[in-house]
Homo-oligomer: A and B are copies of this chain.
Amino acid sequence: MSQLTRTHFETLDQDDSLAPMRNEFSLQDGLIYLDGNSLGVLPKATAAHISEVIQQQWGVDLIRSWNCHQWMQKPTELGDKVGHLVGAEAGQMLVCDTTSINIFKLAAAAVKMRPGRTKLITETGNFATDLYLLQGLAKLLGYQVQVVALPRHEVLDAIDDDTALVLLTHVHFKTGAMWDMSTVTELAQQKGALMMWDLSHSVGAMPIALDKVNADLAVGCTYKYLNGGPGSPAFVYVAKRHLSQFEQPLTGWLGHAKPFAFEDDYQGAAGIQQAMCGTPPVLANAALEVALDVMLTVDMHQVRRKSKHMGNLFIELIQQRCPWFEVGSPVSDEQRGSHVSIIHNQGYAIIQALIERNIVGDFRAPDNLRFGFTPLYLKYVDLWDTVDALVDIMTNELWNQPKFLTQNAVT
């Protein structure tokens, strides 16, 4: 491969038809933000909309806003908007609660839908909350089900006719390694298990086709590639074919068939509405709506093409210019999500040194430097400049600083 130059990246930016999308986001001059896979940036329209929701809807219209501004309908409306991004027809998704809570709801429902089966299969090293919620459920149920967590290469072989549920994260939070949703879903279902996908690290970065791959259940987060804001509410998906048997245990009043009848006995609402629990977070939903509306203007296939291209170029630059690092992500873009991890045992200090230069990636113990590529607001030249900074840090700066050595000792 030929030696890359900054000019090459400048040219790519000039020819990038997604480049104008950067104007939709509020970004400080000089900042290179490679952490949109953890917390997405602020859409420019968010502040004004939240201000309107606060000042007019809450401040003036008050209690009437539950109806007149559809506060009560937002979980469904936003769920359907997320549905557009993940290939789910209307009526199968809600925006509510957190990814963690939604995993619990769906895993408990899955156990009920697969009576007698005892295994909940997942991956060791999965994003921790996925593992933990399954463990919490198993313990609560007195271990009538058990969590079977296995290394990635052993997961598929372990799915058997005693498996109630397989829960996997589509794109791995550390390595960026991506499961083939279609193949894995089919395999799980061949054994009679239900397949739940955690889309937290892929939604908004690539096309997803929940209905098409015949997924059973899904959850995910909206504050990463979707830019919903810090701690924005999560989403939940239950395939239409399961909705008539779907029964989740967090039976809050807004999942009731007639919540405002205030009846003494719970009677679950029909359809996905039964996944609702408590009162929806209006301000957070408002911020998310703005972000989803931005995302819905772009073609996710185009986003994915730029994302792959960026990942490939970044890896190529690291391989050409950075002999200090091992690439911790799949080199094949077909097997990789929208972030790339590189490995170094001084990772924490290196990330700090980058941050001091206004280049923000993040660190995941013990040795992962994560760089997220968000095609809507990242420039190709940012990749060059990041690697340039890494080269400078590794050759000129880092090893000479007593501060680094101290930090390093602490880490």
Residue positions of A touching B, CB distance < 8 A: 26, 28, 33, 35, 38-39, 41-42, 46-47, 50-51, 54-55, 58-60, 62-66, 71, 97-101, 104, 108, 124-125, 127-129, 131-133, 135-137, 139-141, 149, 174, 221, 223, 229-234, 249-253, 255-256, 259-266, 277-285, 287, 355, 360, 362, 364-365
Give Cα distance in the complex from A62 to B36, angstroms. Answer: 9
The 10 closest A-B pairs by CB, nearest first: A98-B278, A136-B251, A100-B252, A230-B282, A100-B278, A129-B253, A42-B59, A140-B249, A231-B281, A132-B266
One of B46, B54, B59, B233 near A281 (C-beta < 8 A): B233
The answer to whether residues A277 and B98 also contact, given A51-B47, A108-B140 and a CB cut-off of 8 A, is yes
Give Cα distance in the complex from A216 to B41, angstroms. Answer: 42
The answer to whether residues A54 and B42 also contact, given A26-B59, A231-B279, A281-B233 and a CB cut-off of 8 A, is yes
The answer to whether residues A41 and B54 also contact, given A277-B101, A278-B99 and a CB cut-off of 8 A, is no
One of B50, B234, B251, B260 near A50 (C-beta < 8 A): B50
Give Cα distance in the complex from A93 to B97, angstroms. Answer: 20
Give Cα distance in the complex from A128 to B263, angstroms. Answer: 7
Give Cα distance in the complex from A277 to B46, angstroms. Answer: 27
One of B71, B137, B266 near A249 (C-beta < 8 A): B137
Q: Are A46 and B39 in contact (CB under 8 A)?
A: no
Contacts of A232 in B (CB 8 A): 281, 283
Q: Are B60 and A28 in contact (CB under 8 A)?
A: yes
Give Cα distance in the complex from A221 to B230, angstroms. Answer: 21
